Structure 1
Amino acid sequence: MSLANGLWTDWSAAAERLDRRFAGLYQLRSFDYRQPLRLQQGVPRRLQRPYTTPVAYADWGPRDAPILICCGGVANTAMRFSFLAADLSRHPAGAWRVIAPDWLGRGQSGWLADECEYARDTYVEQLRQLIAHLGGGPVALLGSSMGGSVGLALAASNPSLVSRLILNDVGPHIPRARRLKRANTLARHYVFRSPADIMRRVGASHKNDGPVPEDIRLFLAWHQTRWSRENAGRVYRLDPRALQAYRTDAQQAVDQWQAWRRLDCPLLVLHGMQSDALLAPTLRRMQKTQDMTLVHIPQTGHTPVLFDRNQTGLLGHWLASGRREAAELSLPLAWPRQPW
């Protein structure tokens, strides 16, 4: 029987059974993020003040292992990286301590006081404070979509904090038209009224992420949403103002070429071959200005979920090697994981 059929209670029970597969492999932690005055420029002066709000993160693997921080896209939550984190925390080439934070205004992290504060500079500061909380770095950094843009900015401005950078289907340029299309979809408040509704919409989204089985779509959808009594359905775990701010920012293309040229660490770029965000002209320009390892992933758009064992295996070996080199390859999809 399809996981989309039946009642919410049945759907949630199935998701909880899937979630228990990761029991004992990670801990949910948090730290107090401090929002500085310099990131409140759009707030009326009389209302500006430094304040704190919690940032939640999932902590996987040995505490004494090297650290990899995984940062998701504009509407992702930390648990999107569960498969990658579980594999890397016990990878044969060397275990990693994988830290997956929820962005401010998403998941279980706190919200910011004003919509205008949801900006790339704030997310860069969130990452900087997270690294300080974890011991000061340097750390390896993986960013999907918006997380990659933030990671690129941090690595360029604070090179001592980032030892390796992985960009998951994102580069220094993202077209304005693509950003607007995504922003206009996300900025609408949506209530999922039934399991069929959520699996249909989330399933359509994940088709762009590559071949994703129904059980994994269920796991991701469950963590990305929460039950809303006032709406009598499930809603995304986020501050709607964060996505309104993203829609405002999406009026312009992403342009990080200056930051890209300043990078001075090993670089791995994952490219979904059907991506509408990381395009061939961008990749060619990236290769001209940086020595990077470029990996093409078939049947996949923007962005790979990174549950495929070929992908997690390659990431583990690349992280262990620490090499900076110009290389380009295609990575076939692995056989599907055993259904949960």
Structure 2
Amino acid sequence: MPAAAFESLTVDAEGLPLHVRQRGPQGVPAVLFLHGWLDHSHSFDPLCEHLPEAWRTVLLDFRGMGESGHAGPGATYHFSDHLLDVDATLDGLALPPVHLVGHSLGGIVALAYAAARPERVLSLTLIESLGPSGGPAAGAVQRLRGFLDDARRPPNRKRYPTVEAAAERLRQANPTLSPDAALLFASHGTRRTAEGDFAFTFDPRHRRRFGQGYDEAQWLALEAAVTCPVQLLRGTEGLSPAPELLEARLAALRTLAGPPRFFDGGHHVHLEQPAAVADAIAAFVARNARSDREASGS
């Protein structure tokens, strides 16, 4: 089913409007998709063409990205804010317990949310995502210094003469991104300015470093708190934690449903192999359908 079948809605996150798109509001199961850093919900459009039409499929734009509202003057973005975005979406749409699918940053958010709200998450699919960069506790001081340094730099919203030029800039930053995928991101992720050129819609303050973050021990504790089934989908040319971290992170996921599955592609493998990745997600959700029936009382 084409992406045009999705309805655009707004949910409230304590006064901040969040943009969501929904297909099949009466459908079962409910599946919520969370996009990557500086991306938007349209990054899942090719994938959604291959997903079951019977699902209640929900796509969220995180705050400060896509068509969602930006934080006010003087405010900053924190990782935990995105967990509030998920909470607001589930509450605003009166969603039952959901299956979460997250790419990159969206996967990190999905995993942390599943740890914090286990009763609201039935299964977890992580695409090219297995946690933040982490690091030793000693990195906390440098992280705070970086946060303070970034806060003094004014936001820089770059301009591009055409949507195609913006797409080419995306490919320069991510060479594994195909021309079609880059154009998809730029077409839905830019807006014409008053001067007639184009700028990305994400809040440039998202490029600033967080003041706080999880060290490796804290992140492993979050992973260990996840109680729902988890599957990992990765690209053969994608990103991965350092080898010394990978084994411990995989071991910490006590409900991991087998080893990671690999598909030919890079960090945005769900755009390069949408049919194959969609099949993997649909099969995993179907295997956990019993949890849906129990949640609905049927």
Partner of 1:262: 225
Q: Which runs of 5+ in 1 are unaligned?
A: 1-19, 35-51, 324-340
Residue number among 222, 225, 240 corresponding to 2:190 in the alignment: 225
- Identical pairs, percent: 21
User: Are 1:174 and 2:140 an aligned pair?
Assistant: no
The number of aligned residues is: 271
Instruction: Select between 132-141 and 118-127 the one with higher mean Cα deviation.
Output: 132-141
Q: C-alpha distance in 1, partners of 2:156/2:219?
A: 28
Residue number among 2, 9, 22 corresponding to 2:3 in the alignment: 22
Q: C-alpha distance in 2, partners of 1:114/1:260?
A: 34
CA contact (8 A) 1:156 1:259 kept: yes
Q: CA RMSD in A?
A: 3.0
Q: Which runs of 5+ in 2 are unaligned?
A: 290-298
Tell me: CA distance 1:277–1:190, structure 2 relative to 1, closer, same or farther (3 Å): farther
Tell me: CA distance 1:157–1:22, structure 2 relative to 1, closer, same or farther (3 Å): closer
CA contact (8 A) 2:76 2:205 kept: no
Give 2:250's aligned amino acid: Q
Matches within 5 A, 1:124-203: 124-174=83-133, 188-203=156-171
Matches within 5 A, 1:40-79: 52-61=15-24, 63-79=26-42
CA contact (8 A) 1:60 1:85 kept: no
Matches within 5 A, 1:314-329: 314-322=280-288
Deviation of residue 196 (structure 1)? Answer: 4.8
Residue number among 34, 38, 51 corresponding to 1:88 in the alignment: 51
Moved over 6 A (4+): 250-254
Deviations 1:99-133 (CA, angstroms, capped at 9, x unpaired)? 11111111211122255441122111111121122
CA contact (8 A) 1:275 1:301 kept: yes
Q: C-alpha distance in 2, partners of 1:149/1:222?
A: 26
SS of 2:49's equivalent? helix
Deviation of residue 291 (structure 1)? Answer: 3.8
Q: C-alpha distance in 1, partners of 2:236/2:223?
A: 21
CA contact (8 A) 1:156 1:263 kept: yes
Tell me: CA distance 1:155–1:114, structure 2 relative to 1, closer, same or farther (3 Å): farther
Instruction: Select between 197-206 and 105-114 the one with higher mean Cα deviation.
Output: 197-206
Deviations 1:215-257 (CA, angstroms, capped at 9, x unpaired)? 3432221001111124x4211112222333xx24488867521
Deviation of residue 56 (structure 1)? Answer: 0.8
